[in-house]
Amino acid sequence: MTESLTIRRPDDWHLHLRDGAMMETVLPETARHFGRAIIMPNLVPPVVTAADAAAYRDRIMAALPEGQAFEPLMTLYMTETTDPQDVRRAAESGLVKAVKLYPAGATTNSASGVRDFDKVRGVLEMMAEIGLPMCVHGEVTTPDVDIFDREAVFIETVLDPLRRNTPGLRVVMEHVTTADGVNYVKSQEDMGGTITTHHLIINRNHILVGGIKPHYYCLPVAKREVHRLALVEAATSGDAHFFLGTDSAPHPDHLKEHACGCAGVFSATNTMSCLAEVFEAEDALDRLEAFASLNGPTFYRLPVSDETITLTKGAPVDYPAKLEGGAGPVTVFDPGFPLHWRVDA
């Protein structure tokens, strides 16, 4: 029985750090275990230009506690007025590693996203030319589509046509939540898919049965158990299409426990322990490194880390239920079972 596992230091390919007091609270939780992370640009106002990204990166590094090493990988928020040449310059400088496409209204702070995809054709074609990945929130937002069907409909009506019309565009379908998404990503070239910690563990019953559980509410919303099982199979298979993107998304408790609660699960603190439990249950601990540390850098054409972390199995780890900070308490994801794997960084 495996009691210790050493892997390359992992990266998080989908992370929300927010800004200000909230960033100061949550950034150390990611930097404790992860070497790099793709930083989401949906601030208010969003990170739209290279200058915005440079300023945000400076604020992140200023908030990093002394003694922690972490590299934020910056992204730009695509709008219908995004300048292709600004994107090109940002990518060629090494500052920006991807551009994020939010369909307008799809999730938190996405009101500035894209409604008319013809208006971003020039940006997409330039990105295909230089090999800059597009990270996409894969849901339609039309009100007549059921919230549990929005990922599947997005693939059919938006993503597949967009990719066919833009040959060579490299796409990351973020936070895949359905068997439909898994099957589509597996069948494509120049495409990756991130899977979150919480979508590997919860299904929609966790949100709704026995009363509404606001700290499990996220977008894309968790789906049926059959879809969760498809995600587990994809993540634990070692398939290079799939890699970790926690979508760790902090909100203060008073905005989660609210008449119109915010979408987002905060999992940066205990993700690696959660993943070790999931992979061990599937007899796949030998493939955790691929999912958390190797497949992502390979897709993004970046070197894998030459540092390592060691996970050790023992008595349950006593993670805090909440983080206290200047923006208010933030609830840490509760997987609903004991976590026996601890990270010895």
Decide if pLDDT at 196 tops 90.
yes
Residue type at 51 in one-letter notation: A
Measured CA angle at 218 (ends 117, 55), to 5 deg: 60
Give 260-308 pLDDT, tens digit per residue: 999 999 999 999 999 999 999 999 999 999 999 999 999 999 999 999 9
pLDDT of the residue at 111? 59
pLDDT of residue 79: 92
pLDDT of residue 113: 75
User: How large is the average pLDDT for residues 120-145?
Assistant: 95
| Domains recognised in the chain with CATH numbers | 4-344 (3.20.20.140)
Confidence of residue 138 (pLDDT cuts 50, 70, 90): very high
Residue from 104, 161, 96, 94 nearest 134 by CA? 96
Burial letters 154-167, b for 16+ CB under 10 A, else e = bbeebbeebbeebe
Task: Tell whether the model's pLDDT for residue 345 goes beyond 70.
Answer: no
Confidence of residue 2 (pLDDT cuts 50, 70, 90): confident
Q: Does the structure show a pLDDT above 60 at 110?
A: no
DSSP state of 15: E
pLDDT band at 103 (very low <50, low <70, confident <90, very high): confident
d(CA 83, CA 286) in angstroms, rounded, equals 44
Active-site pick, 86, 247, 306, 318:
247
User: Which pLDDT does position 59 carry in this prediction?
Assistant: 98
Per DSSP, the three-state class of 239 is: coil
pLDDT at 118 over 90: no
Active site residue 344: no
* φ, ψ at 83 (rounded to 5°): -90, 115
What's the pLDDT tens digit per position in 205-256? 999 999 999 999 999 999 999 999 999 999 999 999 999 999 999 999 999 9
Neighbour-count burial of 89, counting CB atoms closer than 10 A to its CB (0-12 exposed, 13-18 middle, 19+ buried)? middle
Joined tokens for residue 29: 């939780």
Cα–Cα distance measured from residue 36 to residue 71, given in angstroms and rounded to the nearest whole number? 5
| Residue of 134, 58, 56, 57 whose CA lies nearest to 102 | 134
How far apart CA 272 and CA 234 sit, in angstroms, is 17
State residue 77's pLDDT score.
Answer: 95
Query: Which H/E stretch holds residue 339?
Result: none
CB atoms within 10 A of CB 255: 15
Region 179-184: mean pLDDT is: 98
Alpha helices (H) in 131-208, listed in sequence order: 150-154, 160-165, 179-186, 204-208
Of 343, 329, 339, 344, which is closest to residue 266 (Cα–Cα)? 329
Asked whether the bond before 250 is cis by omega within 30 degrees of 0, the reply is no
